[in-house]
A and B are shown apart, each in its own frame.
Chain A
């Protein structure tokens, strides 16, 4: 259950953004997460209100946008969709691939109300 640690790191960043923008309240927090980031979105959703209680982000909505899993084949060059435990080329089946997208764990944006 490292989602709580991740949530605390998230909150620290959100609080910085709120302070830099003289926010009175944080309304929404938008994350972009890849399937290989090692984060359970549901657990993050559960941990978020707990981490935010009593802060400028109390009551904020957490929106998690899933990024696609895409690999590029080192053999044939194709870029194809993949599954977390099957990162092989969708065209030629070679396992010598490179991840193009799918391990991101990003704070994308913060929507806030200014004072």
Chain B
């Protein structure tokens, strides 16, 4: 993607995107102005700014997306309980209607910022920016953003996070990736949640969910877990640890070469 205007133009699609007629300036004062600008470029610009904030402090930001009730908050509670003594965690909560999820997180002794403004169907980079300014990023290793429960809208908005984790609960059916390709294509990790219910939901086949994901040309790992029973949690925690380690390593390299900082930004 073109960083400056979000226009998504690459050498591959240039000829397609730029095709089409330029309307000639006609005599009666009408004019056609070519723009070719990404519609969400303002959001993308803000997201890049958010990422700068996060990177400056070496914070890994993970965006959790799923349909309503797939188990995002339950996963966060289990994750915090397991990692609280190992990592400094904070949460931005996108439950726009109630404080319930934020209160569940705070009960675990972790800061949770509730986003209360905006439309009820997705978070955008400006909302996350406001929330970031309520957090002391120098005291955080891992920031979770619990997006609004919705498999459509959140996928279109970059928040400035580093990784997308999409949850698919076993009660939803294993063909969700085929029905919501935009969302599942964006996943860096797919979590099949509520795996404790697999025994009774015999029509949910994890391998089929993975197959649907591959058809979206997505090579992301697929993990099964149960936040309730704790099964499969270790693989998820290890994924988080590996992501944090990779981020720290990149940051050290960045610091070791301060003269390049102007180039690397």
Contacts and interface: CB of A to CB of B under 8 A. Distances in A.
Interface of A: 1-2, 4-6, 9-10, 12-13, 17, 21, 23, 27, 30-32, 36-39, 65, 67-68, 70-72, 84-88, 95-101, 103-115
A2 B39 contact: no
Q: How large is the interface on B (under 10, 10 to 19, 20 to 34, 35 or more residues)?
A: 35 or more
Interface in B174-188: 177-179, 181-183, 185
B30 A114 contact: yes
B119 A107 contact: no
Q: Which 9 A-B pairs give the minimum distances between C-beta atoms? A: A101-B13, A2-B153, A38-B182, A100-B12, A87-B217, A38-B156, A85-B178, A85-B181, A84-B181
A106 B36 contact: yes
Contacts of A23: 31
Given A27-B30, A101-B13, A88 B35 contact: no
B93 interface: no
A1 B120 CA distance: 9
A12 B215 contact: no
A111 B217 contact: no
Contacts of A96: 217, 219
22 contacts: A2-B153, A5-B124, A6-B39, A9-B39, A9-B43, A17-B35, A23-B31, A27-B30, A30-B20, A70-B13, A84-B182, A85-B181, A85-B212, A87-B185, A88-B215, A98-B217, A101-B12, A104-B7, A105-B39, A108-B36, A110-B33, A111-B31
Interface in B5-51: 7-10, 12-13, 16-17, 20, 22-23, 28-43
Interface in B159-185: 177-179, 181-183, 185
B152 interface: yes
B13 A109 contact: no
Contact of A99 (B37, B39, B214, B217): B217
A109 B39 contact: no
B156 A4 contact: no
A38 B40 CA distance: 12
B155 interface: yes
Nearest to B216: A87
A14 B212 CA distance: 39
A98 B12 CA distance: 10
Nearest to A115: B29
Given A6-B156, A38-B156, A107-B37, A65 B30 contact: no
B215 A101 contact: no
B254 interface: no
Contacts of B29: 113-115
B198 interface: no
B239 interface: no
Contacts of A72: 12
Given A36-B181, A88-B217, A95-B215, A10 B39 contact: yes
B122 interface: yes
